């Protein structure tokens, strides 16, 4: 199981984003007996490098390769929250060992970022996801990645592999319409809308119960 965190914000900066995913990895390992890996994307925590969308996709793919090498099963599951869910879906398309994907509070596209890339670049610096002053060397290429990344296209390409799309009805960051767009693109996704839940589904016990239940059913299928 590969667990991917979301993008840092003013409330949870790059140094702290993803710390709670290790706890979820431990829970999955103890309760389900799976090997579970929670990573910190480049630019976050003690990971080196600076944020780029393609860079995060590469990080996810490298983690899938690592799990393939150390795992006891050929089946790998990927779960991500927010941007991590979108990145996980995109990375999994070309990885045949990925049996299924769970996307929690994930965007259907990166149009908001793509239309205001300079604002995103400033934000990434402010929250510590980009630390190198001269990064990116090719600003146009960095911005182009935002336009090219299409989580809905990834969801469509993942079919018929299982896809869980979960979203909080009270999400103040990503509208629930994005969850419906992703689910529609896949055509057979398990869409779960959590009443009253915000963007931080990782800390909603109902959402975690849905996730673990979904994984357990997939394991038995």
Round to whole Å and give the CA distance between 151 and 92: 11
pLDDT at 73 > cutoff 90:
no
Question: Quick one: pLDDT band at residue 5, thresholds 50, 70, 90?
Answer: very high
Q: What is the mean pLDDT of residues 33-38?
A: 95
Q: What percent of the chain has pLDDT over 90?
A: 95
Q: What is the mean pLDDT of residues 23-34?
A: 94
pLDDT tens for each residue of 97-126: 999 999 999 999 999 999 999 999 999 999
Could you give the number of structural domains in the chain? 1
Is 219 domain-assigned? no
Residue 72 is predicted with a pLDDT of: 72
Is 54 domain-assigned? yes
Higher pLDDT, 11 or 129: 129
Residue 10 is predicted with a pLDDT of: 84
Is 218 domain-assigned? no
Q: What is the mean pLDDT of residues 21-30?
A: 96
CB 55 within 8 A of CB 114: no
Average pLDDT, the chain: 96
Round to whole Å and give the CA distance between 13 and 40: 12
Q: What is the mean pLDDT of residues 183-206?
A: 97
Is 166 domain-assigned? yes
Q: What percent of the chain has pLDDT over 70?
A: 100
Give the length of the chain. 221
Residue 74 is predicted with a pLDDT of: 76
Is 150 domain-assigned? yes
Residue 220 is predicted with a pLDDT of: 77
- Please measure the distance between the N-terminal and C-terminal CA atoms of the chain and give it in whole angstroms: 17
For residue 15, the enclosing domain spans: 2-213
pLDDT at 14 > cutoff 90:
yes
Question: Quick one: pLDDT band at residue 13, thresholds 50, 70, 90?
Answer: very high
- What CATH number is given to the structural domain containing 20? 3.40.50.1820
Is 187 domain-assigned? yes
Question: Quick one: pLDDT band at residue 219, thresholds 50, 70, 90?
Answer: confident
Alpha helices in the chain (DSSP H): 21-32, 53-70, 83-92, 111-115, 117-126, 139-148, 151-158, 176-186, 205-220
- Strand 98-104 versus strand 76-81 pairing type: parallel
Residue 218 is predicted with a pLDDT of: 87
Is 161 domain-assigned? yes
Is 221 domain-assigned? no
């Amino acid at each position: 199981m590969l667990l991917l965190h979301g993008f840092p914000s003013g409330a949870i900066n790059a140094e702290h984003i993803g710390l709670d995913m290790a706890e979820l990895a431990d829970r999955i390992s103890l309760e389900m007996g799976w090997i579970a890996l929670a990573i910190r994307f480049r630019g976050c925590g003690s990971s080196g490098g600076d944020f780029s969308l393609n860079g995060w996709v590469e990080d996810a793919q490298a983690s899938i390769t690592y799990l393939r090498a150390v795992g006891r099963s050929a089946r790998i599951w990927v779960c991500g929250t927010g941007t991590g869910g979108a990145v996980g879906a995109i990375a999994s398309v070309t990885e045949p060992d990925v049996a299924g994907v769970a996307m929690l509070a994930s965007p259907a596209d990166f149009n908001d970022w793509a239309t205001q890339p300079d604002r995103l670049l400033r934000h990434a610096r402010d929250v510590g996801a980009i630390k190198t002053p001269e990064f990116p060397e090719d600003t146009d290429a960095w911005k182009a990645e935002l336009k090219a990344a299409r989580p809905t296209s990834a969801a469509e390409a993942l079919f018929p592999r299982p896809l869980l799309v979960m979203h909080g009805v009270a999400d103040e960051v990503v509208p629930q319409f994005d969850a419906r767009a992703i689910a529609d693109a896949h055509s057979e996704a398990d869409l779960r809308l959590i009443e009253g839940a915000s963007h931080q589904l990782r800390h909603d016990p109902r959402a975690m119960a849905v996730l673990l239940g979904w994984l357990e059913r997939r394991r038995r299928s």
